Amino acid sequence: QVQLVESGGGSVQAGGSLRLGCTASVANYMSNCMAWFREAPGKGRQAVAAISPGGGITYYADFAKGRFALSQDSAMDILYLQMNNLKPEDTAIYYCAARDSPYCGGGDVALTRRAYTEWGQGTQVTVSS
């Protein structure tokens, strides 16, 4: 079973930036459909963004458009989530997720929790006002 490990969380003031990273215990695993989710206290797990290497498509939740960006390093061994102009409501634990396919299943599926079978342990992001 693959292990996903998140990094880069921390505390930042509103308007600041953070870059989260996700690595996998299996080489070239990032060629699969990968995503970031988040979970704030008292709220359910919410999709942030997903990338479908097979389809060459990136999906973003509405709140993430224009502020967050997914990218991968040239060896596709690390998935990054660049988060800019952070707001206090972005405070949450951020999780990396994956499915065993290079395709995310289309826009109706890519940003749903049920699409993913592998999950990391999460990294805390705290944004203060």
**32's tokens:** 């699969």
Average pLDDT over the chain, rounded to whole?
A: 94
Could you report the per-residue pLDDT of 86-115, keeping only the tens digit for each? 999 999 999 999 999 999 998 889 999 999
User: Most distant CA pair in the chain: distance in Å?
Assistant: 40
Could you report the per-residue pLDDT of 29-48, keeping only the tens digit for each? 888 999 999 999 999 999 99
Q: To the nearest whole percent, how much of the chain has pLDDT over 70?
A: 98
What's the full length of the chain, in residues? 129
User: Is residue 27's pLDDT more than 90?
Assistant: no
Could you report the per-residue pLDDT of 48-71, keeping only the tens digit for each? 999 998 888 999 999 999 999 999
Question: What distance in Å separates the CA atoms of residue 77 and residue 28, rounded to the nearest whole number?
Answer: 6
Question: Of all helices (H) and strands (E), which one includes residue 49?
Answer: strand 45-52
**63's tokens:** 């709140």
Question: What distance in Å separates the CA atoms of residue 109 and residue 124, rounded to the nearest whole number?
Answer: 25
Encoded amino acid at 53, one letter: P
